[in-house]
Chains A and B, each alone.
Chain A
């Protein structure tokens, strides 16, 4: 070892401090990297740990509570009784079970004992028979065949000795030949099967008792059992901290196809509570369950709507496709939620959650579980957005009409071409060189004639379709051609300038109009109005009676009346509190009598209204309605009805006068209107026309000369896909980025201050007041300003519309995610477009749980709910579609007696006539069928005809004092029907479906909860329904199903039979008349 230098720095200088510092630095680096690795970069790790802790604690408590509850039930008298029953059953079954087990064991032993001999012998015999069979059956082989046969016989006769168990452990030696072995073996199999069946019978009472106990527990304590909860607790405690990722890559796409079709979603790495492995659907957990304050940043709660997850399974959808956000980001909450400038699909705020639904459900009119979206779609139409903005799927009848006309033209041309070809082909056939060619050419000509006749059928269908489409075109606003007949001229300028002063709930938006613009528009509209034919003069009606009718007929399902807190009714049509200030009585009478009547038909081909002269010239009376809809001038389909959705209530003229008289009393006595002589000023006409075109008034109103005007606004079908740069924030750009609202207030979203430079911010502000985007700009000419009027919407409605627009995207999801069903669900959506269009849901409950407008009116509260229009949730299963078709066409079900409801004459509320087009009727009938999963077309169930004996039994039950049927249901006897509350049974045969009827009479409350029809009329006895009351003597020996019997009886019921029943039942005729005498 060499000697060290005395000044060797290694020896003389200490590096301890340097090393210490280095160690610190190194440690820090290592710690920092560990921290980053496990926590900093992976916040989801700590989320998962925290989840496991809070969730375990929650489950622990649940397990304890549940155990205690289960114990309580187990110690209850009911349970003890069941337990005693179980023990008793066991005591009975056990000895028998034991005996059977012994027998069964013995059979097993015996079978085992002979098995070897049986198998050996069977194969031996089998092979010998084969040897015998393969020898040819000819003389040459006779002796060989004979010897083989002998071998078989010998083998069959051969005896095997077997140690045969006799029970009690003893065995005896028995011998068996081939046949005995076979027989014994089969006997043993039979014995075994019999014993097993017997054991099943013996054990059944025990199994029943056990099932009864389990049922008691599940009835008293629904939800997960303590054992199940315990299992969850274990899996929560053993939870692996791991990244959760969902990849969905449709064929031919790549995982990294950002913004394209592939899908990567890691949201559940933090949102652990979504995982059904840990939190099953039966256990929806909230922050409160986990003992966390609402504001706590802890993404642990489970999805509040488990049905949605059933339809959109997490493992194929993940979270971000519906909710937005950056599904693959994990580093921070902000990144994962996509709340930064360059992510195009930020996480939707709670008020806009349903934007996610719209991405794939844009073709729906009604999406289950998406009430906000459904409301938005109704608003989009009813607030007149659709008047200016095109949106695919909404009110496209105009476009379809054009397409249909074009197709008809092209088919007509094809027909002409084909018709020219036929004689040519025939002639070529005549001159053909040989018969084969001639035959071919003649056949071609014949085929072509058939083709032409099929074209005729197609054209005829298209004609019908165009008739339908013309009928389906509706406008949100009233027909302005009739202003001179309907309105007071001085009211028009007031309305235009002060729309919401006159009616704070008006559907019409408030336009930003200068006084001279108001005058010009009023003048144009007035001068453009029809001047005749003059209306019939109407005598005054009775306002008190009118008020009664107005309140009870169902007007309030669409219209509202009263102002402020006094307002009741729907928002789909006008508030009528001030109707008397604006309208002419004679016109309103005609309108109420039939709102579809118009003063003149419009000819879209000639672009003008037809006059009586046009008809006279062609020798026709001036009659135009749905049945007389062809132009006498050019044969085209006319507009023969008012383009309003308001239906015809089939009222008498007197009733119409009464209601109109009531509406005329609806006015604010203090209001005053300045005279408006300028409406007749011809010099204002041109300016007015320009303004009316500019503001797009013809989008909602029918205006002479502007019938074909196109929509003036932007197409909004894919508005949510526009990049933010294409939205004009104008001078509000900086404010939006800084999160300052137009009014100077800072914007808060949830609990946080936020920028509103995003699509949501733009839509929210634009809907609240479009004018704000003009702020600070120099626009001396009012026509330079943004022309969008202020829509009359509440904050909730703005949220709904914003959600709708945010979801109106060109979806980046794989096409298979789009909801474009081709099965019955398509029929359901087709129907919803019509149902929402005519506001059927204002009166009827169609979707389970859906509220109607009428339901919430004070007049129908409590036990008055039975006066509501019928619930239609099972309509498709209830009625025969053929009947429904005729009912929709004419709800009075009578050609002459129309001033009534065809089914429920006892209801004051009445089903009106909507003049639905054939196509709409077809779609509605299919819709109701599809909603109730009914097959199309409908083939009625064949019912066994009643025998005479059955008929007399049915009659006896039906009319027995214990059967309340005829007390509530109409019988056709006026005295009785005055107080009836249910339809006449005579309708049943054509109207009802028998299967539904049986379900209805046995368990009505499961079909329509709250119905006046009582449950418990029948009880189940074994396999049949039995009338639940003392039976009349005639019926006592009947052994069939009594519900089925009554249904068959009702389906066969004839007027004669009913009259006879009324005679027999004193309910109707006798007591009715006696009460009158009193």
Chain B
């Protein structure tokens, strides 16, 4: 046994021990969540979903709104009794003021925030439109066309609440909503009959029906979607629809039962 062997062995052993000891204790790897790949929409393949909303049964009989609390409102609507907009029907019992939108199926895409501003007008002591829809982050502009002071008071569940007064001729109040919500009630505390809704959408595939009850969701990439229809009195209904490339699917109709 020569000295060299001993020296080597000792050195190796020591190295091994030291190495063993200094081995990193760190067992925690940094886990970076993989960023969700954003799908892009190919404009060549998009299709649409369209249909009509109907009411099964008779719409409730409404009485004209009593605006006597504010003489301005009475004067502004003189000769034209204002009816509540809760249930609005057209010929053939088609249903207006229904928000139809893609509830799920479009999550993989990212959508730019529209740059145009949506306007809510307070005119003749009513909201025009009664139901409006806009996208998350899109600018809402509230204007007062009346010669009386209104206050705009959205009472959301998921978004931030606010309540601002808007005197006649005051500049528009602008704001946006950060989270999707269907639908935020908007109220004027001064004129308690003034009630409207703002639907905040996560994607641009939505429509608010007119009296004719028709909607057409355009620009949808092929896929399977849950389409939901929301009505302030009757709640929601949904359908699952699959469309292929360039397919225009018609006849996706919803019928709400009158209560």
Q: Say yes or no: A1067-B189 contact (C-beta < 8 A), given A1012-B153, A1028-B167.
A: no
Tell whether, in the assembled complex, residue B30 and residue A57 are in contact, meaning their CB atoms are under 8 Å apart.
Answer: yes
Instruction: Determine if B104 is an interface residue (Cβ-Cβ < 8 Å).
Output: no
Q: Report the minimum CB–CB distance from B198 to chain A (whole Å).
A: 13
Instruction: Determine if B56 is an interface residue (Cβ-Cβ < 8 Å).
Output: no
Tell whether, in the assembled complex, residue A1014 and residue B151 are in contact, meaning their CB atoms are under 8 Å apart.
Answer: yes
Q: Report the minimum CB–CB distance from A133 to chain B (whole Å).
A: 75
Instruction: Determine if A478 is an interface residue (Cβ-Cβ < 8 Å).
Output: no
Tell whether, in the assembled complex, residue B1 and residue A1009 are in contact, meaning their CB atoms are under 8 Å apart.
Answer: no
Interface string of A1010-1021 (1 = CB under 8 A from B): 111111110000
Q: Choose among B74, B148, B152 the residue that contacts A961 (Cβ–Cβ < 8 A).
A: B148
Q: Choose among B26, B149, B169 the residue that contacts A50 (Cβ–Cβ < 8 A).
A: B26
Q: Report the minimum CB–CB distance from B33 to chain A (whole Å).
A: 9
C-alpha spacing A343/B99, complex, angstroms: 63
Tell whether, in the assembled complex, residue B163 and residue A964 are in contact, meaning their CB atoms are under 8 Å apart.
Answer: no
Among A113-121, A170-178, A187-195, A291-299, the one that faces the other chain is: A291-299
Q: Report the minimum CB–CB distance from A871 to chain B (whole Å).
A: 14
Q: Say yes or no: A1016-B68 contact (C-beta < 8 A), given A57-B30, A964-B149, A1071-B74.
A: no
Q: Say yes or no: A1016-B28 contact (C-beta < 8 A), given A16-B6, A1067-B69.
A: no
Q: Choose among B1, B157, B187, B190 the residue that contacts A964 (Cβ–Cβ < 8 A).
A: B190
Q: Choose among A298, A976, A1017, A1075 the residue that contacts B66 (Cβ–Cβ < 8 A).
A: A1075
Tell whether, in the assembled complex, residue B169 and residue A1030 are in contact, meaning their CB atoms are under 8 Å apart.
Answer: yes
Instruction: Determine if A1066 is an interface residue (Cβ-Cβ < 8 Å).
Output: yes
Tell whether, in the assembled complex, residue A49 and residue B25 are in contact, meaning their CB atoms are under 8 Å apart.
Answer: yes
- Chain B binding surface, main DSSP class: loop
Interface string of B168-197 (1 = CB under 8 A from A): 111000000000000001010111100100
Among B10-18, B133-141, B250-258, the one that faces the other chain is: B10-18
C-alpha spacing A290/B14, complex, angstroms: 35
Tell whether, in the assembled complex, residue A1015 and residue B163 are in contact, meaning their CB atoms are under 8 Å apart.
Answer: yes
Instruction: Determine if B147 is an interface residue (Cβ-Cβ < 8 Å).
Output: yes
**Chain B residue contacts of A1070, Cβ below 8 A:** 71
C-alpha spacing A517/B163, complex, angstroms: 62
Interface string of B21-59 (1 = CB under 8 A from A): 100011011111000000000000000000000000000
Instruction: Determine if A836 is an interface residue (Cβ-Cβ < 8 Å).
Output: no
**Chain A residue contacts of B30, Cβ below 8 A:** 54, 57, 291
Instruction: Determine if A53 is an interface residue (Cβ-Cβ < 8 Å).
Output: yes
Interface hits, A943-978 → B, CB 8 Å: 961-964, 967-968, 976
Q: Say yes or no: A968-B190 contact (C-beta < 8 A), given A31-B17, A1029-B168, A1030-B168.
A: yes
**Chain A residue contacts of B62, Cβ below 8 A:** none
Interface string of A1043-1078 (1 = CB under 8 A from B): 000000000000000000000001100111011001
**Chain B residue contacts of A968, Cβ below 8 A:** 189-190
Interface string of A516-551 (1 = CB under 8 A from B): 000000000000000000000000000000000000
Tell whether, in the assembled complex, residue B21 and residue A1072 are in contact, meaning their CB atoms are under 8 Å apart.
Answer: no
Q: Choose among A24, A863, A979, A1013 the residue that contacts B69 (Cβ–Cβ < 8 A).
A: A979
Tell whether, in the assembled complex, residue B189 and residue A1010 are in contact, meaning their CB atoms are under 8 Å apart.
Answer: no
Instruction: Determine if B72 is an interface residue (Cβ-Cβ < 8 Å).
Output: yes
Instruction: Determine if B9 is an interface residue (Cβ-Cβ < 8 Å).
Output: yes
Instruction: Determine if A72 is an interface residue (Cβ-Cβ < 8 Å).
Output: no
C-alpha spacing A963/B150, complex, angstroms: 9
Q: Choose among B1, B26, B74, B163 the residue that contacts A16 (Cβ–Cβ < 8 A).
A: B1
Q: Say yes or no: A17-B70 contact (C-beta < 8 A), given A1005-B162, A1030-B167.
A: no
C-alpha spacing A962/B151, complex, angstroms: 11
Instruction: Determine if A396 is an interface residue (Cβ-Cβ < 8 Å).
Output: no
**Chain B residue contacts of A291, Cβ below 8 A:** 28-32
Instruction: Determine if A889 is an interface residue (Cβ-Cβ < 8 Å).
Output: no
C-alpha spacing A19/B3, complex, angstroms: 11
Tell whether, in the assembled complex, residue B68 and residue A1074 are in contact, meaning their CB atoms are under 8 Å apart.
Answer: yes
Q: Say yes or no: A50-B25 contact (C-beta < 8 A), given A291-B31, A1029-B167, A1071-B71.
A: yes
Interface hits, A454-502 → B, CB 8 Å: none
**Nearest CB to that of A14 among chain B residues?**
B1
Tell whether, in the assembled complex, residue A1016 and residue B74 are in contact, meaning their CB atoms are under 8 Å apart.
Answer: no
Interface hits, A893-952 → B, CB 8 Å: none
Instruction: Determine if B166 is an interface residue (Cβ-Cβ < 8 Å).
Output: yes
C-alpha spacing A429/B159, complex, angstroms: 85
**Chain A residue contacts of B195, Cβ below 8 A:** 863
Q: Say yes or no: A292-B28 contact (C-beta < 8 A), given A20-B9, A1028-B170.
A: yes
C-alpha spacing A981/B153, complex, angstroms: 15
Tell whether, in the assembled complex, residue B17 and residue A27 are in contact, meaning their CB atoms are under 8 Å apart.
Answer: yes
Tell whether, in the assembled complex, residue A1010 and residue B161 are in contact, meaning their CB atoms are under 8 Å apart.
Answer: yes
Interface string of A13-56 (1 = CB under 8 A from B): 01011011001100110010011000100000010011001100
Q: Report the minimum CB–CB distance from A620 to chain B (whole Å).
A: 53
C-alpha spacing A298/B31, complex, angstroms: 15
**Chain B residue contacts of A1015, Cβ below 8 A:** 162-165
Tell whether, in the assembled complex, residue B164 and residue A967 are in contact, meaning their CB atoms are under 8 Å apart.
Answer: no
Q: Report the minimum CB–CB distance from A1036 to chain B (whole Å).
A: 15
**Chain B residue contacts of A865, Cβ below 8 A:** 155
Tell whether, in the assembled complex, residue A1071 and residue B170 are in contact, meaning their CB atoms are under 8 Å apart.
Answer: no
Tell whether, in the assembled complex, residue B163 and residue A1012 are in contact, meaning their CB atoms are under 8 Å apart.
Answer: yes
Tell whether, in the assembled complex, residue A862 and residue B185 are in contact, meaning their CB atoms are under 8 Å apart.
Answer: yes
Q: Report the minimum CB–CB distance from B64 to chain A (whole Å).
A: 9
Instruction: Determine if A866 is an interface residue (Cβ-Cβ < 8 Å).
Output: yes
**Chain B residue contacts of A296, Cβ below 8 A:** 28
**Chain A residue contacts of B29, Cβ below 8 A:** 291
**Chain A residue contacts of B150, Cβ below 8 A:** 964
Q: Report the minimum CB–CB distance from A376 to chain B (whole Å).
A: 30
**Chain B residue contacts of A46, Cβ below 8 A:** 25
Tell whether, in the assembled complex, residue A1016 and residue B21 are in contact, meaning their CB atoms are under 8 Å apart.
Answer: no
Q: Report the minimum CB–CB distance from B164 to chain A (whole Å).
A: 4
C-alpha spacing A489/B113, complex, angstroms: 70
**Chain B residue contacts of A1074, Cβ below 8 A:** 68
C-alpha spacing A16/B10, complex, angstroms: 11
**Nearest CB to that of A1070 among chain B residues?**
B71
Q: Say yes or no: A20-B28 contact (C-beta < 8 A), given A1016-B166, A1067-B70.
A: no
Tell whether, in the assembled complex, residue A961 and residue B13 are in contact, meaning their CB atoms are under 8 Å apart.
Answer: no
**Nearest CB to that of A1009 among chain B residues?**
B161
Which of A16, A34, A1074, A1078 has the largest count of B CB atoms less than 10 A from its CB?
Answer: A16
Q: Choose among A50, A1014, A1072 the residue that contacts B165 (Cβ–Cβ < 8 A).
A: A1014
Tell whether, in the assembled complex, residue B165 and residue A1016 are in contact, meaning their CB atoms are under 8 Å apart.
Answer: yes
C-alpha spacing A981/B69, complex, angstroms: 12
Q: Choose among A866, A963, A1067 the residue that contacts B149 (Cβ–Cβ < 8 A).
A: A963
**Chain A residue contacts of B170, Cβ below 8 A:** 1028-1029
**Nearest CB to that of A58 among chain B residues?**
B30
Q: Choose among A19, A20, A979 the residue that contacts B192 (Cβ–Cβ < 8 A).
A: A979
Q: Choose among B10, B71, B162, B165 the residue that contacts A1067 (Cβ–Cβ < 8 A).
A: B71
**Chain B residue contacts of A1028, Cβ below 8 A:** 165, 167, 170
**Nearest CB to that of B193 among chain A residues?**
A979
C-alpha spacing A49/B25, complex, angstroms: 9
Q: Report the minimum CB–CB distance from A289 to chain B (whole Å).
A: 11
**Chain B residue contacts of A53, Cβ below 8 A:** 26, 28
Q: Say yes or no: A27-B163 contact (C-beta < 8 A), given A57-B30, A1014-B189, A1071-B71.
A: no
Tell whether, in the assembled complex, residue A1071 and residue B163 are in contact, meaning their CB atoms are under 8 Å apart.
Answer: no
Q: Report the minimum CB–CB distance from B116 to chain A (whole Å).
A: 17
**Chain B residue contacts of A49, Cβ below 8 A:** 25-26
9 nearest CB pairs, A to B: A1029-B167, A1014-B151, A1075-B68, A1014-B165, A1012-B189, A1071-B68, A964-B190, A1016-B164, A1016-B165
A-B contact pairs, 23 of them (CB 8 A): A27-B17, A35-B21, A39-B25, A46-B25, A53-B28, A57-B30, A291-B32, A298-B28, A961-B147, A963-B149, A964-B149, A967-B70, A968-B190, A979-B192, A981-B189, A1012-B189, A1015-B165, A1016-B166, A1029-B149, A1067-B69, A1067-B71, A1070-B71, A1078-B66
A contact residues vs B (CB 8 Å cutoff): 14, 16-17, 19-20, 23-24, 27-28, 31, 34-35, 39, 46, 49-50, 53-54, 57, 290-292, 296, 298, 862-863, 865-866, 961-964, 967-968, 976, 979, 981, 1004-1005, 1009-1017, 1028-1030, 1066-1067, 1070-1072, 1074-1075, 1078
